[in-house]
Amino acid sequence: MGKNFFLSACIFFIAMSGLIFTPAYASEHNSLTFKKQPEIQRIKPKKPIKIKLKRLANGTYTWDLTGADIQEIIRIDRELREQLKLE
Protein backbone atom coordinates (compact mmCIF):
# COMPACT_ATOMS: atom_id res chain seq x y z
CA MET A 1 0.00 0.00 0.00
CA GLY A 2 2.90 2.34 0.67
CA LYS A 3 4.25 2.07 -2.89
CA ASN A 4 0.84 2.71 -4.48
CA PHE A 5 0.25 5.75 -2.26
CA PHE A 6 3.69 7.17 -3.01
CA LEU A 7 3.21 6.61 -6.76
CA SER A 8 -0.24 8.21 -6.68
CA ALA A 9 1.10 11.20 -4.74
CA CYS A 10 3.95 11.69 -7.25
CA ILE A 11 1.57 11.57 -10.20
CA PHE A 12 -0.77 14.03 -8.45
CA PHE A 13 2.03 16.54 -7.77
CA ILE A 14 3.36 16.28 -11.31
CA ALA A 15 -0.11 16.87 -12.72
CA MET A 16 -0.73 19.82 -10.40
CA SER A 17 2.63 21.40 -11.22
CA GLY A 18 1.72 21.15 -14.91
CA LEU A 19 -1.56 22.93 -14.27
CA ILE A 20 0.09 25.64 -12.19
CA PHE A 21 2.99 26.47 -14.52
CA THR A 22 1.25 26.00 -17.89
CA PRO A 23 -0.84 29.24 -17.86
CA ALA A 24 2.20 31.35 -17.02
CA TYR A 25 4.21 29.74 -19.78
CA ALA A 26 1.37 30.03 -22.27
CA SER A 27 0.84 33.74 -21.62
CA GLU A 28 4.53 34.43 -22.29
CA HIS A 29 4.52 32.54 -25.61
CA ASN A 30 1.10 33.49 -26.97
CA SER A 31 2.55 34.90 -30.20
CA LEU A 32 1.60 31.87 -32.30
CA THR A 33 -0.17 33.08 -35.43
CA PHE A 34 -1.66 31.34 -38.44
CA LYS A 35 -1.93 32.79 -41.90
CA LYS A 36 -3.79 31.56 -44.92
CA GLN A 37 -1.87 30.71 -48.05
CA PRO A 38 -4.24 30.83 -51.03
CA GLU A 39 -1.94 28.82 -53.29
CA ILE A 40 -2.21 25.88 -50.91
CA GLN A 41 -6.00 26.15 -50.68
CA ARG A 42 -6.39 25.86 -54.45
CA ILE A 43 -4.60 22.52 -54.71
CA LYS A 44 -7.08 19.70 -55.17
CA PRO A 45 -6.09 16.05 -55.39
CA LYS A 46 -6.60 14.37 -58.73
CA LYS A 47 -9.46 11.94 -58.95
CA PRO A 48 -8.18 8.53 -59.96
CA ILE A 49 -8.97 6.89 -63.29
CA LYS A 50 -10.76 3.61 -62.71
CA ILE A 51 -9.92 0.74 -65.04
CA LYS A 52 -12.13 -2.30 -65.39
CA LEU A 53 -10.11 -4.82 -67.40
CA LYS A 54 -11.87 -7.85 -68.90
CA ARG A 55 -10.46 -10.89 -70.66
CA LEU A 56 -12.75 -12.42 -73.23
CA ALA A 57 -13.12 -16.13 -73.94
CA ASN A 58 -11.02 -15.89 -77.12
CA GLY A 59 -8.05 -14.45 -75.16
CA THR A 60 -8.42 -10.80 -76.13
CA TYR A 61 -8.81 -7.96 -73.66
CA THR A 62 -11.26 -5.12 -73.35
CA TRP A 63 -11.58 -2.41 -70.71
CA ASP A 64 -13.76 0.39 -69.41
CA LEU A 65 -12.11 3.62 -68.24
CA THR A 66 -13.92 6.11 -66.02
CA GLY A 67 -12.71 9.36 -64.52
CA ALA A 68 -12.94 13.15 -64.57
CA ASP A 69 -9.84 14.04 -66.64
CA ILE A 70 -10.31 13.13 -70.32
CA GLN A 71 -6.64 13.70 -71.17
CA GLU A 72 -5.61 11.23 -68.47
CA ILE A 73 -8.15 8.67 -69.77
CA ILE A 74 -6.72 8.99 -73.30
CA ARG A 75 -3.16 8.59 -71.98
CA ILE A 76 -4.04 5.46 -69.99
CA ASP A 77 -5.95 3.99 -72.94
CA ARG A 78 -2.89 4.49 -75.16
CA GLU A 79 -0.63 2.85 -72.56
CA LEU A 80 -2.96 -0.14 -72.22
CA ARG A 81 -3.03 -0.61 -75.99
CA GLU A 82 0.80 -0.51 -76.11
CA GLN A 83 1.23 -2.89 -73.18
CA LEU A 84 -1.29 -5.38 -74.50
CA LYS A 85 0.07 -4.96 -78.06
CA LEU A 86 -3.28 -4.16 -79.62
CA GLU A 87 -1.92 -1.58 -82.08
The domain of 11 spans 2-32
Task: Specify the 3-state DSSP secondary structure of 61.
Answer: strand
For residue 59, the model assigns a pLDDT of 85
Kindly state whether residue 38 falls inside one of the protein's structural domains: no
How many structural domains does the chain have? 2
pLDDT at residue 27, as a whole number: 53
Q: Establish if 19 belongs to a structural domain.
A: yes
Same domain, 28 and 48: no
**pLDDT for residue 18:** 62
Q: Is residue 11 part of a domain?
A: yes
Residue 2: its H or E element = helix 2-28
Same domain, residue pair 21 and 49: no
Task: Say yes or no: 57 and 28 in one domain.
Answer: no
The tens digit of pLDDT for each residue in 26-79 reads 555 566 777 887 777 777 778 889 999 899 999 888 899 999 889 999 999 999
Partners of residue 53 on adjacent β-strands: 63
Claim to verify: residue 47 and residue 26 sit in the same structural domain: no
